Amino acid sequence: MIASLRSLGDNTPLHAACAALAAVAFLTVGGCATDPTKGYATVSPYPTRYQSVAAPIFRNQSYMRGFELDLADALVKEIESSTPYKVRSEASADTVLRGTLTSIDLVELSKDPSTGLANEMMVRVRADFEWVDLRTGERIVAKQGVESSALFVPSYPAREPLELGRFAAVQQLARDLVGAMQSKW
């Protein structure tokens, strides 16, 4: 490329533009690394030695039911869409992601002074989980107290149902749990 640019002559504007473009391309490609400790990586952030994950329904220690089913559905979708892994049954998977919903709380953030009813509420979900290699029994990742929350407005005029906050909190928790499956840099 440089030889063909020299044939155009050193004083052409095309020569200067092409030389600048070549320098930028070299620096950009040279700046990428396959070793994530040295900068940006062109490899998957998830461990490549695994191909599949089992995602059984989490236990639920709270009095609010159904969250565990919503989380199971959200985890399957998040794993399938964000990771290189396939979701399988525990009998045929390489790994298992299991856990417990330790608490689910409704937190009142503001109250209407005239009626005393909640204006803004927050759904807060807390979980403990572990990701285990089923071949060796080794824990890949384990965390306690992973928390997500979402706001909803039950009062007039919005009248948002609890399910709106529940859905948002569970989706965020699924993203956080799957994000924790990434390799440690």
pTM for the full predicted model: 0.75
Residue 177's pLDDT is 97
Average pLDDT, the chain: 84
Fold assignment, 52-179: Rossmann fold (3.40.50)
For the chain, the domains span 2-31, 52-179
pLDDT digits (tens, 9 = 90+) for 26-67: 444 444 444 445 556 566 788 889 999 999 999 999 999 999
Percent of the chain surpassing pLDDT 90: 66
Q: How far is CA 26 from CA 32, 38, 116, 120, in A?
A: 10, 17, 65, 53
Q: What is the DSSP string of 46-91?
A: S-TT--EEE-PPPEE-SS--SHHHHHHHHHHHHHHHHSSPEE--TT
Residue 16's pLDDT is 53
Q: How far is CA 65 from CA 22, 52, 91, 118, in A?
A: 60, 28, 27, 22
pLDDT digits (tens, 9 = 90+) for 82-118: 999 999 999 999 999 999 999 999 999 999 888 888 8
